[in-house]
Amino acid sequence: MSRPDSDITFAGSIPKVYESHLVPLIFAPYAADMAARLARRFPSSVLEIAAGTGVVTRALASGLPENVSIVATDLNEAMLEHAQSIGTARPVDWRQADAEALPFPDQTFDAVICQFGVMFFPDKAKAFAETHRVLRPGGVFLFSVWDRIEENEFVHMVTMALEQIFPQDPPRFHARIPHGYYSRSIIEKDLVAGGFTAAPEFATVGARSEAHSPHLVAIAYCQGTPLRNEIEERDASLLSDATVVAAEAIAERFGTGSISGRIQAHIITGVK
């Protein structure tokens, strides 16, 4: 199935807002967990795909022994450049790479990790096959996906609120992409198609999304993700209005000061 380029475009100011607003809001709570899960596998070489602005990369660099090599990749150069500008506690090999055509020899890594990235892969089975190819026998593929949007309160509220601004054609990026790949049966089918024939482990992990104000949440989702692209494609002059409407909806539900909402994801472990 084809996908609009805007769904995978993290450019302009998006990487900066993504890192400053969205990472602490929803990604940081899972990054430490993912790094800890991988550390218990004692890998000697790790490949990260869809590294984004590097929240998991930083957790890996701080939490894994220094003799463990880390290669961090992303398709989007703007995101990768922002990750590199932040830096890590120790050297990491940064590479621009497509998850569906990894530029590494067969059986190179003990582990491949991907936090909230596989949902963006146009051909997931192909990307899984590439992961399987570069893993050594017995290697682990650890990745996470968001649960359905209704289990993630802030983003669900933002998505519904934007129907007020665009009633005829509401932006549905978050429901369609980040929260659109949560079915265990579909994920298992794609893993098998990619060569992971052993039954994967699934863990559903809930956490809390914390913010100092509803406005910060609205900025995170409306201006720090490709949802911004969808809004601007409809009417660029309404980006500010859309952000305000989203903030007002969150404030009405959660309050006007510091707020907390439920988030939920699935952590999947496959072994070659």
Which tens digit of pLDDT belongs to each residue from 68-97? 999 999 999 998 999 999 999 999 999 999
Whether residue 226 lies inside any domain: the answer is no
Q: Is residue 245 part of a domain?
A: no
Contact 117, 56 (CB under 8 A): no
Res. 1: pLDDT tops 80: no
Read off the pLDDT of residues 177-226 as tens digits, 9 standing for 90 and up. Answer: 999 999 999 999 999 999 999 999 999 999 999 999 999 999 999 998 88
The residue among 40 and 18 whose pLDDT is bigger is: 40
Does residue 57 contact residue 34 with C-beta atoms inside 8 Å? no
Question: Is residue 90 within 8 Å of residue 61, measured between CB atoms?
Answer: yes
pLDDT for residue 11 is more than 70: no
In angstroms, the CA 192 to CA 186 distance is: 10
User: What pLDDT does 2 receive?
Assistant: 41
Whether 217 maps to a domain, the answer reads no
123 has a pLDDT exceeding 50: yes
8 is written with which tokens? 């995978």
Token reading at 154? 């802030």
Summarize the chain as % helix, strand, coil (round to 5): 45, 20, 30
C-alpha span between 53 and 81 (Å, rounded): 8
Query: Residue 33: inside a domain, yes or no?
Result: yes
Confidence at 15, pLDDT banded by 50, 70, 90 = confident
Out of 12-16, 22-26, 34-38, 135-139, pick the least confident. 12-16
Structure confidence at residue 12 (pLDDT):
67
- CATH number of the structural domain spanning residue 11: 3.40.50.150
Identify which of 70, 115, 108 has the alpha carbon closest to the alpha carbon of residue 207.
Answer: 115
CA distance 153 to 155: 6
Rg (CA), the chain: 18
Over residues 223-240, the pLDDT tens digits come to: 988 899 999 999 999 999
- Is the model's pLDDT at 102 over the cut of 90? yes
Q: Could you give the strand order of the β-sheet that contains 135-146, starting from the edge strand earlier in sequence? A: 93-96, 69-74, 45-48, 109-115, 135-146, 259-271, 201-211
- Is 180 within a domain? yes
Cα–Cα distance, 141 to 272 (Å, whole number): 8
Q: Is residue 120 part of a domain?
A: yes
pLDDT at 167: 94
Residue 138 CB neighbours (<10 A) = 9
**For the segment 126-181, what is each residue's pLDDT rounded down to a tens digit?**
999 999 999 999 999 999 999 999 999 999 999 999 999 999 999 999 999 999 99
Beta pairing partners, 228: none
> Which structural domain, as residue segments, surrounds residue 188?
5-149+174-208+264-271
> How many domains is the chain partitioned into structurally?
1
For residue 64, what are the contacts with CB-CB under 8 A and spacing of at least 6? Answer: 35, 38, 39, 43, 46, 70
Please check whether residue 249 lies inside any domain of the structure.
Answer: no
Confidence class for position 18, pLDDT limits 50, 70, 90: confident
State the alpha helices, DSSP H only, in the chain: 14-17, 28-39, 55-63, 77-86, 124-134, 153-161, 173-176, 184-193, 214-223, 227-235, 239-254
Residue 218 located in a structural domain: no
